[in-house]
Chains A and B, each alone.
Chain A
Amino acid sequence: MVDIDEKVDYIVVLNGEEQYSILLADREIPAGWVAEGFRGPRQECLDHIDVVWTDMRPLSVRRRMEGN
């Protein structure tokens, strides 16, 4: 039941594992998440994430694999 009204702004956020998500722009950002900088209607945020989230492996997994 998340508001999907396209007039409402969301922001793009990511956590320490560089996993992306979205949040209503007026919400408090939960601990361990930071704003990525992109802000806009929900679908535009998701389209942006489709472009910037190029490796969906958690950061710790990426580092471990590259260490191998």
Chain B
Amino acid sequence: MLYERVVRQALRNPSAPAVTCDGETLTYEQLVRRADGLSDVLTTAGVRRGDVVGVLMRRSTDMITALLAILRAGAAYVGVDPDDPPQRRNDLLTDAGVEFVVADDPLREGVPGRFTTLSPSAVSRSSGAAVSTTGDDLAYVSFTSGSTGRPKGVMVPHRAVLRLITDMNWMDVRRDDVFLQAAPLAFDASTFEIWAPLAHGCHLVMAPSGRLTLEGVAETVREHGVTVLWLTAGLFHEMVAHDIGAFAGVRHLVAGGDVIQPGPVGRLLAAHPGITFTNGYGPTENTTFTTTWTTSAAAGDGLDTIPIGTPVNGTRIAVLDAELQPVEAGACGELYVSGAGLARGYLGQPGATADRFLPDPFSSEPGARMYRTGDIVRLRPDGACEFVGRVDDQVKILGHRVEPGAVETALHRLPGVSRTAVVVRTAADGAKRLVAYVVPEDVPPPHWGERLREQLRATLPAPLIPWAVLVRDTLPLTSNGKTDREALPVPDLTARNVPNEFVAPRTDVEHRLAGLWEGVLGVEPIGADDDFFDLGGHSLNATELLGAVRAEFGVTIPARVLYLQPTLSELGEQLETAMRSGAQR
């Protein structure tokens, strides 16, 4: 299916440039001829329709040739990242049931002998016919990293790719467009980057092989006049901050993979009024994009949030509550998706597939499935969705269900915030604490993190106020360009974390009281002017503290006294008053 689409372009315009990488360009005719030659090598070696063939290659024109050759043989490709540890690469190939691996010559040595390796430059003299495939045949397998458990190989059929790249309701592809290819093959953004241009006869320009850098992307975009590109949210934010001029010749910029911040989108549209911006959202299980939200300078003033938008053609969405009933407009629910973009399931994991691909009660097509995304979205009255957070990330803090994503959104609305990440940390005593990491747009004022924390109090309920707001120059990114939450530094959760200066306890009562606070809050040192609730106190440990006070001092302090006089010195005074009046009785 995909192969035939590319052949059609080669017949229509054989000398048009198809793919360029590191100074080498193949025309459509050359690309198809090379793919045919390699494809016959694969077939002769034993590759059959329905097989999954490994691709262990760096960005190159050969890589595109290899993909086309694999599809022509009726097989599906699975990209394995050359920068992954060998053990993980081999595990993925084994999990995918791979027998054949097309590998760059320098990488072939590292592939264990149980796999048959093939060189992408091999050419056959025979010329067999292309294996005919249907929309149900697999085009590729993409492994999702998943935060827990073993990686799952998402099996994507040709039909799902065609629904992504043809009859698009959110962008028009022009014959003279130049697309950038920068995402690792193992990441399903590459599906859009590679097959959208090749199916439409456009020019595919690859970022230099090797590690992807902001400079490398910017240089490729400028040098080759890239008009359409996809960037991870992280890279998009960085490029707007450091080299917004690189987008001068770009017609349509698509970003996604993580939450897009409104600030950079506004700056992009202001700097380049002719550009169209799309937020592309979607799980791998529904083939790259599920919903999109598109804006341009004409429409894009006063952006508050960047929604994930409305479904792409061939996809239906439902925002459902826990009873699988549609939520009302304006409410939050879990996003379920269905239609032609659905994957077949997880390779070799029937139980995991059945758990996520559920009977679709809303479809007119009997037996249809819907995929449970695990993403919580808000369905806006205008029909567009806003991303709220992951079901798995929801945590209970002080008995409240807390979405770290909601805290990120609130932080973004504060002036001077460029990027944020909010994570849940568990202190030694088991208490869960929200920790926010913030990157400023400019040099931040002193104690900026503490000020942001104070500003959040105006918009967020107490359980959503981060225990700490840490200011950083940058946030670590994964190889897929998402914020690497695992790599964020873990703060000292037992350190005193309040804006006021530390004043040592003065009286005997204050010293003894500070010892009780340390025990209840798991924080030290405690200062005389510190506020119990600023240090992480809440109604539950307030009760615990007052019990400890009764045991230590033999007096009962009502809870409202603590709420009205929450600092150590204030509570100390109340204690002394109470003890004096108790002694007089």
Chain B's closest residue to A15 (CB) is: B367
* Contact residues in A for B334 (Cβ distance below 8 Å): 1
The reply to whether the CB of B322 lies closer than 8 angstroms to some CB of chain A is yes
* Contact residues in B for A50 (Cβ distance below 8 Å): 349-351
* Contact residues in A for B358 (Cβ distance below 8 Å): 2, 21-23
- Encode A30-68 as 1/0 by CB contact (under 8 A) with B: 111100000000100111011011101110110011001
- Encode B307-344 as 1/0 by CB contact (under 8 A) with A: 00000000000001110100000000110000000001
| Selected contact of B322 from candidates A2, A12, A32, A54, CB within 8 Å | A2
* Contact residues in B for A68 (Cβ distance below 8 Å): 49
* Contact residues in A for B155 (Cβ distance below 8 Å): 56
* Contact residues in A for B344 (Cβ distance below 8 Å): 56-58
For residue A37, give the distance in angstroms from its CB to the closest CB of chain B. Answer: 15
In the complex the two chains form, what is the Cα distance from A23 to B323 in whole Å? Answer: 12
* Contact residues in A for B355 (Cβ distance below 8 Å): 22, 42, 46
A1-B391, A2-B322, A13-B359 known; A21-B354 Cβ under 8 A:
yes
In the complex the two chains form, what is the Cα distance from A32 to B357 in whole Å? Answer: 15
In the complex the two chains form, what is the Cα distance from A9 to B59 in whole Å? Answer: 49
| Selected contact of B354 from candidates A16, A17, A46, CB within 8 Å | A46
The answer to whether A15 and B50 touch across the interface, beta carbons within 8 angstroms, is no
In the complex the two chains form, what is the Cα distance from A1 to B335 in whole Å? Answer: 10
For residue B388, give the distance in angstroms from its CB to the closest CB of chain A. Answer: 12
- Encode B350-394 as 1/0 by CB contact (under 8 A) with A: 111111011111010111110010000000000000000001000
The reply to whether the CB of B13 lies closer than 8 angstroms to some CB of chain A is no
* Contact residues in B for A57 (Cβ distance below 8 Å): 50, 344
> What's the tally of chain A residues with a CB closer than 8 Å to chain B?
37
For residue B320, give the distance in angstroms from its CB to the closest CB of chain A. Answer: 8
In the complex the two chains form, what is the Cα distance from A13 to B359 in whole Å? Answer: 8
The answer to whether B351 and A17 touch across the interface, beta carbons within 8 angstroms, is no
- A-B contact number at CB 8 A: 94
A47-B351, A58-B136 known; A21-B367 Cβ under 8 A:
no
The reply to whether the CB of B36 lies closer than 8 angstroms to some CB of chain A is no
> What's the tally of chain B residues with a CB closer than 8 Å to chain A?
36
The answer to whether A19 and B369 touch across the interface, beta carbons within 8 angstroms, is yes
- Encode A10-28 as 1/0 by CB contact (under 8 A) with B: 0011011101111100011
Chain B's closest residue to A33 (CB) is: B359
In the complex the two chains form, what is the Cα distance from A42 to B353 in whole Å? Answer: 13
* Contact residues in A for B349 (Cβ distance below 8 Å): 50
* Contact residues in A for B49 (Cβ distance below 8 Å): 65, 68
* Contact residues in A for B391 (Cβ distance below 8 Å): 1
The answer to whether A21 and B357 touch across the interface, beta carbons within 8 angstroms, is yes
The answer to whether A23 and B333 touch across the interface, beta carbons within 8 angstroms, is no
Chain B's closest residue to A29 (CB) is: B359
In the complex the two chains form, what is the Cα distance from A53 to B355 in whole Å? Answer: 13
In the complex the two chains form, what is the Cα distance from A56 to B50 in whole Å? Answer: 12
* Contact residues in B for A1 (Cβ distance below 8 Å): 320-322, 333-334, 391
The answer to whether B351 and A32 touch across the interface, beta carbons within 8 angstroms, is no
Interface residue ranges of B14-72 to A (CB < 8 Å): 49-50
A13-B359, A21-B358, A31-B366 known; A2-B350 Cβ under 8 A:
no
Chain B's closest residue to A2 (CB) is: B372
Chain A's closest residue to B134 (CB) is: A64
In the complex the two chains form, what is the Cα distance from A15 to B359 in whole Å? Answer: 8
The answer to whether A30 and B354 touch across the interface, beta carbons within 8 angstroms, is no
The answer to whether B366 and A20 touch across the interface, beta carbons within 8 angstroms, is no
The answer to whether B322 and A65 touch across the interface, beta carbons within 8 angstroms, is no
The reply to whether the CB of B137 lies closer than 8 angstroms to some CB of chain A is yes
A29-B359, A30-B359, A65-B50 known; A56-B136 Cβ under 8 A:
no
In the complex the two chains form, what is the Cα distance from A30 to B318 in whole Å? Answer: 16
For residue A21, give the distance in angstroms from its CB to the closest CB of chain B. Answer: 5
For residue B555, give the distance in angstroms from its CB to the closest CB of chain A. Answer: 45
What are 18 A-B pairs with beta-carbon distances under 8 A?
A1-B320, A2-B358, A15-B367, A19-B357, A19-B369, A20-B350, A28-B361, A30-B359, A30-B363, A31-B367, A52-B350, A53-B350, A53-B351, A56-B344, A56-B345, A56-B350, A60-B136, A68-B49
Task: Taking A20-B350, A31-B366, A46-B354 as given, write out 12 further A-B residue pairs in contact, using a Cβ cutoff of 8 Å, ordered by the A residue number.
Answer: A1-B320, A12-B354, A15-B366, A27-B324, A30-B359, A30-B366, A33-B359, A33-B366, A49-B350, A49-B351, A56-B347, A65-B49
